[in-house]
Chains A and B, each alone.
Chain A
Amino acid sequence: MLEIRNIAKTFGTTPVLSNVSLQCKGGETLSVLGKSGCGKTTLLKIISGLMTPDAGTIAHNGNDLSHTPVEQRGIVYLSQEPLLFPHMTAAENISFGMRMRHRSKDEVAGATNDMLRALGLEDHGRKLPQALSGGQKQRVAFGRALLVEPKVLLLDEPFGSLDAGTREEMQQFYLHLTKTYGFAALFVTHDVKEALVTGTTFARMESGELTLFEDLDAFVNDPNGDVAKERLFWINLK
Chain B
Amino acid sequence: MLAALSVAATWEYPRLLPDVQLNLWSRVVVGGAGWSFLTSLQVALPVAVISLVLGFLSSYRLLGSRYRHVWLWMALIPFCTAPVILSLEMQYYFIRFGLTAQRIGVVIGQLLIGIPYATVLFSLFWNADRLKQEEAARTLGCSRLQIMQHIHIPAAGGIMKLVFAQLFLFSWFEYGMTQMLGVGQVQTLPVLIFRSTQEANLALAAGACVVLILLPVIFIIFTRKIVFR
Same assembly: yes
Chain A, residue nearest B149 (CB): A100
The segment from B40-48, B115-123, B128-136 found at the interface with A is B128-136
In this complex, the member of B129, B138, B155 whose beta carbon has the largest number of chain A beta carbons within 10 angstroms is B138
Closest beta carbon of chain A to B131's beta carbon, Å: 10
- Is B143 a contact partner of A83 (Cβ separation < 8 A)? no
- Is B151 a contact partner of A50 (Cβ separation < 8 A)? no
Chain B, residue nearest A153 (CB): B139
Provide the A67-87 mask, 1 if CB < 8 A to any CB of B, else 0. 000111111111101010111
Which A residues lie within 8 Å of B140 (CB)?
76, 96-97, 100, 144-145, 148
In the bound complex, how far is the Cα of B135 from the Cα of A8, in angstroms?
21
- Is A87 a contact partner of B135 (Cβ separation < 8 A)? no
- Is A86 a contact partner of B155 (Cβ separation < 8 A)? yes
A70-B138 contact in complex given A79-B132, A83-B132, A83-B133, C-beta closer than 8 Å: yes
Provide the B70-87 mask, 1 if CB < 8 A to any CB of A, else 0. 000000000000000000
In the bound complex, how far is the Cα of B129 from the Cα of A86, in angstroms?
11
Provide the A95-122 mask, 1 if CB < 8 A to any CB of B, else 0. 0110111000000000000000000000
- Is B154 a contact partner of A87 (Cβ separation < 8 A)? yes
- Is B142 a contact partner of A71 (Cβ separation < 8 A)? yes
In the bound complex, how far is the Cα of B136 from the Cα of A145, in angstroms?
9
Closest beta carbon of chain B to A90's beta carbon, Å: 15
Asked if A48 lies at the interface with its beta carbon under 8 angstroms from chain B, I say yes
Asked if B224 lies at the interface with its beta carbon under 8 angstroms from chain A, I say no
Which B residues lie within 8 Å of A71 (CB)?
138-139, 141-143
In the bound complex, how far is the Cα of B139 from the Cα of A100, in angstroms?
12
Which A residues lie within 8 Å of B138 (CB)?
49-50, 70-71
Which A residues lie within 8 Å of B135 (CB)?
50, 70, 77
Which B residues lie within 8 Å of A73 (CB)?
139
A77-B141 contact in complex given A83-B132, A85-B151, C-beta closer than 8 Å: no
A residues 24-60 in Cβ contact with B at 8 Å: 48-50
In the bound complex, how far is the Cα of B140 from the Cα of A79, in angstroms?
13
In this complex, the member of B136, B138, B142, B150 whose beta carbon has the largest number of chain A beta carbons within 10 angstroms is B136
Chain A, residue nearest B150 (CB): A100
Which B residues lie within 8 Å of A77 (CB)?
135-136, 139
Closest beta carbon of chain A to B160's beta carbon, Å: 12
B residues 127-183 in Cβ contact with A at 8 Å: 129, 132-133, 135-143, 146, 150-151, 154-155, 157
Closest beta carbon of chain A to B182's beta carbon, Å: 41
In the bound complex, how far is the Cα of B144 from the Cα of A71, in angstroms?
9
- Is A50 a contact partner of B139 (Cβ separation < 8 A)? yes
Q: Which residues of B pack against A, CB within 8 Å?
A: 129, 132-133, 135-143, 146, 150-151, 154-155, 157
A-B complex: 6 closest residue pairs judged by Cβ atoms: A97-B140, A77-B139, A70-B138, A83-B136, A87-B154, A76-B139
> What are 20 A-B contacts defined by CB distance under 8 Å?
A48-B139, A49-B138, A50-B135, A70-B139, A71-B139, A75-B139, A76-B139, A77-B136, A77-B139, A79-B132, A81-B129, A81-B132, A83-B129, A83-B132, A83-B133, A97-B142, A100-B141, A100-B142, A145-B140, A148-B140
Q: A50-B139, A154-B139 are in contact. List 15 more A-B contacts (CB 8 A).
A: A48-B139, A70-B138, A70-B139, A71-B138, A71-B139, A75-B139, A77-B135, A78-B136, A83-B129, A85-B151, A85-B155, A96-B150, A97-B142, A100-B140, A100-B150
